[in-house]
Chain A
Amino acid sequence: MTIHRTLEKSLNRWKEISGLDFALIAPDGKEYVNTGSRKLPSSQNLEEFLSQTAISKASGNLHYFKIYQQEELSCLLLVWGKGVSSHTIGELAVCQIEELTDACQQRLDKNTYMQNLLLGNYTPIDAYNRAKKLRIAHQCPRAVLLVQTKKSRDEAALSMVKNLFTARTGHYITSTDDDTIIVVKELSPGESLDSLENTAITLVDMINTEIMTQAWVGYGNTADDLNQLPQSYQEAQTALTIGRIFYSGQTTFSYDRLGIGSLIYQLPMPICEKFIKETFQGESLDSLDDETYTIIRTFFENDLNLSETARQLYVHRNTLVYRFEKIQKKYGLDLRTFKDALTFQLAMMVNNYIEYRNSADS
C-alpha cells in the first residue's frame, strides 16, 4: 500500500471519530486526500501561510498545519472545525501523519533493510521477501566494510562516505551504533580481497584528507548472497577489534589476515594470565626499562642479528650480549635463540591483550 493510500485510510477514520473534515495537500496546492471534498483555500492564502515561520494557524473554521519529514516540509494538513479542540485534533493528526510517514519510509528504506539484515533481525525468508520488495538482488557478491573514526558520531565522515558510495551503484551505507559506519559494497566481477584492501585504504586516506581525522577500516570475507552478509559483518567487526589491539601501526584490517592476534584474542583471560606468569616466572614486563625495550624491539626487527642491531643502536656488540644475559637471568629466556625470542614476542602480544581487556573492563 502506498503512503497516500495509508494516509487516506487514516484520515477517513479520523473523520468518522471526530466528525471533522481533513485534507492533505502538497505545498504547491496539489491535493492528495480530501475527506469531505471541501473547497481548498486560495493559493494566495496558502502561500501566505507557507511564508510564515509558524507551523500552524487558525483562520476562522479552517486550521492550517505544516508537516515535516526529516526536517523538510513535505505537505500541509487542513482541518475544518470550530474552536480550540479542532486545532488540538489537528495537532494530534500531524503527529500521527509524521509517524506513519516515517514508518512507511523506513519500510521502503534500503539502508535500513541492510542495517536490520546485518543485525540478524530477519529470518531468511523474511530477508528474501523484503529484498524482493525493495528490488535488492538476493544473489550478488558483496562485502561489508566497517569504518571507525577517532570521534564517534562523526557526521562529516558519514556524509563523505555516503557521497563516495551512492545507492544507485548497489552500495549501502548505514550504521548500527554511534561509533561505526557500515559500507555494504557490491563487488564487480573479478573484484577480490585485494581490491577490498584498496577500497579500505582509499576510505582511510579520504577521511584523513577530507575530514582530517584518523580512521580505521575492517572488512570480512565476500558474501555471495544476502543471508551470508551477517557473517561478513561479524567478520569485519572482529577484524577491526583485533586489528586495533594487536596491529596498532595499521589502519586497515582484513579478517583473513589477522594472524596470531586472532588466536590470542580467543584465549580466555585466565589462560593469558597463566601464560604470562609462566613465561616471566612471576616477574612483570613493566619492570623492563625503555632502553631494554628498544634493544629487544630492534633485535627482533633485525631478525635476531646482533651485529646489525648493535650497528643501528650505535652500541658495541658486547654491550648487547651483556644486556641479553641480564634478560636471561631475570626471565629465564635467552632472546638470542629463536624459541625463546618467539616465546617472548608472543608474551608481549598477550600482555598487550591483557592490558586492553583490563582497560575495556574498567
Chain B
Amino acid sequence: MASLSLQHINKTYSNGYEAVKDFNLEIEDKEFIIFVGPSGCGKSTTLRMVAGLEDISSGTLLIDGKKMNDVEPKDRDIAMVFQNYALYPHMTVYDNMAFGLKLRKVPKDQIDKMVKEAARILDLEKLLDRKPKALSGGQRQRVAMGRAIVREPKVFLMDEPLSNLDAKLRVQMRIEISKLHQRLGSTIIYVTHDQTEAMTLGTRIVVMKDGIVQQVDSPSVLYSQPANKFVAGFIGSPQMNFLDGQVVQNGGEIQFKVENYALTIPSSKASVLKDKGYVGKKVTLGIRPEDIYDSQVFLESSPGSVMESTIKVYELLGAEVYLYFDLGDAQITARVDPRTAAKSGDPIKFALDMEKAHFFDSETEMSIVN
C-alpha cells in the first residue's frame, strides 16, 4: 500500500521566496499522478518535499497514514529517477544497479536477487555484463530506472526523466514507463513541463503555476473543462485560442462581440453567463484549434459564428493541416482537414463550434461556464 496525503504544504525559502503555496492532494495507492506546469511553478519543489530533499516549511505529508515531515529520505521507502543521471562508467549494468544497495550494506545474495528481478522487468537481462559505453540511450535510461526499481520502494518519484532524450526516444520511453507502471503496480509521482507527456501518462494531473495548484483532474476533464485560462492554454497542443470581447444581449439572444462580429452563444452557456451577471461585461472566449472549421458544410450550419480573415501560414503535418491567421490582435490557429483547399495568403471564412467554446472572466481568468 502506498497512499500519500499532502495537507496544506508550503515551501518558503530563507530569502522569503514562496515556491509552493497551500498544496493539498490525496494520492491513492497505485495512482500515476503527474505534476505539470511551466518552469519555476513549484512542481519539482513539491516532489522534492515528498522525497525529503527539501524541508516542508509548513503543512503535513503522510505516506500510508504516517507523518513523514521529519523522516530522512532513505527511510521513506521511496526511490527517485531524476533528469540528470549518470551511469558509473567503469561498472557493468549489474554493478550500476547494485551499487546503491551495496552502499546500504544489503547482503550479497539479496542484491543479486533484486538486480536480476529488476533486469527482468526492464528487459536488461542480456545486458547485465555490458559497460555503459556499449549501451544505447534507451538502454541507459532503463538502467537508471533499474537503480530505482531495485530499491523496491512504495513510491517512485520521477522528475523530468525523459527531458534529456531526443524526441523519438522520449516517445519510446514514455511507453516503457507506462508499461512499467502496469507491471510494478506502484504509486508514481511524475513531474514534467511537457503537457503531452502529462496527458498520455497520468491517471490524474496536477496543473501548477507560481507555486499554486490550478486544477487536479483526469486528462480528459482537464482538456474539456479547464478551470481557468491558464489551464486551458497550457493543456492541449496547439494551444487554445483566446479572443477578448464582450457579452451583449441583442434582443432575446446573448452574443459575444469581438472585432466587428457578434457570435451567437448557445443557450446552455448563455444562461450561465446571464445568471452570473456577465451581460455587458468583458470576457475572454477560448476555442481549441480543432473546434474551428473552414468547411462549407460547417459554415452553412453555423451562420452565427462565421468570421473572415487572411491565412498567414499554412502547415501540412500529414494527417492534419494547421492554418494561422489573425483576428484583430489575436493570432488564431485552426486545425483543419488536410483536404482543405486553403493556402497561405488566401482569404478564409471560418466558424467556431460555439458549443465547445469556453468563457473566462477577464479579471480573475477563472472559467465562467465550467
Contact = CB atoms under 8 A, between A and B. Distances in A.
A and B found bound together: yes
Interface string B74-109: 100001111111101111000000011001000000
Contacts of A205: 82-85
Contacts of A301: 17, 210
B223 to A, nearest CB: 24
B212 interface: yes
B364 interface: yes
B52 to A, nearest CB: 8
Nearest to B90: A166
B80 A249 contact: no
B86 A164 contact: yes
A206 B86 contact: yes
Nearest to B82: A205
Interface string A193-214: 0000010011011101111111
Q: Which of A156, A208, A209, A352 is packed against the most chain B CB atoms within 10 Å? A: A209
Contacts of B99: 160, 163, 210
A153 B84 CA distance: 24
Contact of A298 (B18, B89, B363): B18
Contacts of B88: 163-164
B177 to A, nearest CB: 16
Given A160-B103, A163-B88, A208 B53 contact: yes
Nearest to A314: B364
A163 B14 CA distance: 34
Contact of A213 (B18, B73, B85, B147): B73
Given A208-B80, A248-B15, A297-B17, A214 B53 contact: yes
A248 B14 contact: yes
A211 B103 contact: yes
Interface string A23-66: 00000000000000000000000000000000000000000000
A208 B54 CA distance: 11
B13 A249 contact: yes
Contacts of B149: none
A168 B80 CA distance: 29
Contacts of B17: 248-249, 297, 301
Interface string B120-150: 0000000000000000000000000001100
A213 B83 contact: no
Contacts of B89: 164, 166, 169
B15 A294 contact: no
B16 interface: yes
A210 B103 CA distance: 9
B16 A348 contact: yes
B148 A209 contact: yes
Contacts of A349: 15
B365 interface: yes
A96 interface: no
Contacts of A312: 210, 212
B85 A212 contact: no
Given A205-B85, A212-B74, A249-B13, A311 B100 contact: no
Contacts of B363: 311
Nearest to B81: A209
Contacts of B13: 248-249
Contacts of B79: 209
A332 to B, nearest CB: 20
B266 to A, nearest CB: 29
Interface string A300-319: 01000000000110000000
A338 interface: no
A134 B48 CA distance: 43
A80 interface: no
Interface string A161-176: 0011010110000000
B51 A352 contact: no
B137 to A, nearest CB: 16
Contacts of B148: 209
A294 B18 contact: yes
Contacts of B73: 208, 212-213
Interface in B222-269: none
B213 interface: no
Interface string A245-259: 011110000000000
Given A210-B147, A212-B73, A312-B210, A202 B84 contact: yes
Closest CB pairs A-B (n = 10): A205-B82, A212-B73, A212-B74, A209-B80, A202-B84, A248-B13, A205-B84, A248-B14, A156-B103, A163-B88
Given A206-B85, A294-B18, A311-B364, 10 more contacts: A202-B84, A204-B84, A210-B100, A211-B100, A214-B54, A248-B17, A249-B15, A293-B16, A297-B18, A312-B210
Interface of A: 156, 159-160, 163-164, 166, 168-169, 198, 201-202, 204-206, 208-214, 246-249, 293-294, 296-298, 301, 311-312, 348-349, 352
15 contacts: A160-B99, A164-B88, A169-B89, A205-B84, A209-B85, A210-B103, A211-B103, A213-B53, A247-B15, A248-B17, A249-B19, A296-B16, A301-B210, A312-B210, A348-B16
